[in-house]
Amino acid sequence: MKLIKLLTAGVFAGLAVTTGQASASVLDTVKQRGTLNCGTDNTAPGFGYLNTTTGQMEGLDVDFCRAVAAAVLGDASKVKFVTVTDKSRFDAVLTNQVDVVFAHTTMKPARESSIAIDFLPVNFYDGTGIMVKTDSEVVQFADLEGATFCTTQGSVTETVLTSAFKANGWQGSKVLTYENLEKLFAALNSGRCNAMSTDKSALAAWAGNSPKPSDYLILPETLDKSPFAGFVAANDSKWRNALRWITYGLFQAEESDITQANLEEKLKSDDPFVQKFLGVGGGYGKDFGLPDDFVAQAIKAMGNYGEIYARNLGPDTSMFLDRKGTPNALWTEGGAIYSPLWN
C-alpha cells in the first residue's frame, strides 16, 4: 500500500505540476467558478465535524474554509465542502478536486518535499500531551518515572513515549495500548494507568466532558509537536500567497482588536493602518488578485482568529481548550500566533 501510495503521489504530482503550469492560478479558477471547493474532515470535532444534531459542518478548519470564501468571493456560504480522509487529502488537492485542504494536517518536511504541496501558515498547534488524575499529585512529566502510561494502539504516541523514556533513562516505565480513547479514559479512571497520553486537543475534550473536569490535570509539557496547517498544490504562488495573507489577516485582526462586532465602527476609524488593513480607500487585496476589502469580508463573515478559535475549540465549547499559556495564544500573550507586519 505504501509503495502504491508513493507511486500514485509521484505520478499525479508530476501530472499536477505539468498541467498546473499550463493553466491559470487556482485563484482565477475559484473566482470564475464562483465557489470554493474546500477539503475538510467531517469526523474531527472542533476541526472539521458534521454536527450530527444540526446537520451543519463546524470546526476551526471549516471556518477557515468559510473565511477564505468570504475573502475571495465575498460570500462565506459559497463553499462546497469536500470530505477528505487522512489517506485521500493529498491526492485530492493534487488532482484539483479541491482548491485547498484544511484538515488538521501536521506540517512535516517530507510532506512538502515529496508530495508537491505547499503548506499555509499554521492555524493550530497541537502536540502529544499527558493527562493524570489530580489526586495522584503529579504536576510535571518528571514526576512520572516508573509510571504506567496508556495510549491508543498503532498511534505515533507509543513511539514518542518510549523515546521519551529512553531520553530520560527511565527503566520501570511502561506503555499500555488500548483500542480507542474511550477505553483509554476508562483505564485512567480505574487506576490501570497512571497517565493517559494522546493529542492535547483530545485530552482537554475528554476531561472537559467528564462529570468532574477538576479531577484531571493536563501536564504542561508537550512531548511531540504537531502543528496543523492547511495546504494547496505546489507551484501556485498566486493562490498560496492570497491564502497565506487571508490567514495572517485573521491573526492581525485579533492583534489589532478588530472583531465581528466592532467591524462597522473600525471601518470608520481614522487610523491609517486600520483603514488600509480593512481596505477602506485602497488596501492590500488588489495586488493579490483579491478584493481590496478581503480582510474585512473575512472578519464580517467569521470574525478574527480569536473568535473562530473560541467558537470551535475554546472553553465554552465541548473541546474545552483554553488558549492561555499554549502556543495557540497570540504572540503578544506569549503564544505563537503571529502575523508579519502589514504596511
Strand partners, 125: 227
Say whether 227 sits in a helix, a strand or coil. Answer: strand
CA distances from 334 to 50, 323, 325, 338, 340 (A): 33, 10, 7, 10, 16
Tell me the closest approach of the beta carbon of residue 35 to other proteins, in angstroms: 11
Tell me the closest approach of the beta carbon of residue 139 to other proteins, in angstroms: 25
Dihedral sign (CA 269, 330, 156, 216):
negative
Tell me the closest approach of the beta carbon of residue 72 to other proteins, in angstroms: 20
Indicate the residue among 69 and 258 with the shorter CB distance to other proteins.
69
Strand partners, 150: 176, 196
Tell me the closest approach of the beta carbon of residue 83 to other proteins, in angstroms: 4
Tell me the closest approach of the beta carbon of residue 7 to other proteins, in angstroms: 11
Indicate the residue among 28 and 182 with the shorter CB distance to other proteins.
182
Indicate the residue among 85 and 159 with the shorter CB distance to other proteins.
85
- 326-334 long-range contacts, Cβ below 8 Å, gap at least 24? 326/125, 326/200, 327/125, 328/124, 328/125, 330/251, 330/254, 330/255, 330/306, 331/255, 332/255
Tell me the closest approach of the beta carbon of residue 95 to other proteins, in angstroms: 5
What distance in Å separates the CA atoms of residue 232 and residue 302, rounded to the nearest whole number?
A: 21
Q: Which helix (H) or strand (E) holds 148?
A: strand 148-152
End-to-end Cα distance, the chain: 48
Indicate the residue among 54 and 343 with the shorter CB distance to other proteins.
54
CB 253 within 8 A of CB 305: yes
Instruction: Estimate to the nearest angstrom the gap between the alpha carbon of 240 and the chain centroid.
Output: 17
Indicate the residue among 203 and 223 with the shorter CB distance to other proteins.
203
Tell me the closest approach of the beta carbon of residue 69 to other proteins, in angstroms: 16
Indicate the residue among 50 and 296 with the shorter CB distance to other proteins.
50
223-252 in b/e form (b: 16+ CB < 10 A) is bbebbbbbbbbbebeebbbbbbbbbbbbbb
Binding positions for other proteins, rule: CB under 8 A: 4, 8, 12, 15, 42-45, 49-50, 52-53, 55, 57, 80, 82-85, 87-88, 91-92, 95-97, 180-182, 185, 202, 205-206, 208-209, 318-319
Indicate the residue among 29 and 148 with the shorter CB distance to other proteins.
29
Tell me the closest approach of the beta carbon of residue 295 to other proteins, in angstroms: 30
Indicate the residue among 151 and 304 with the shorter CB distance to other proteins.
151
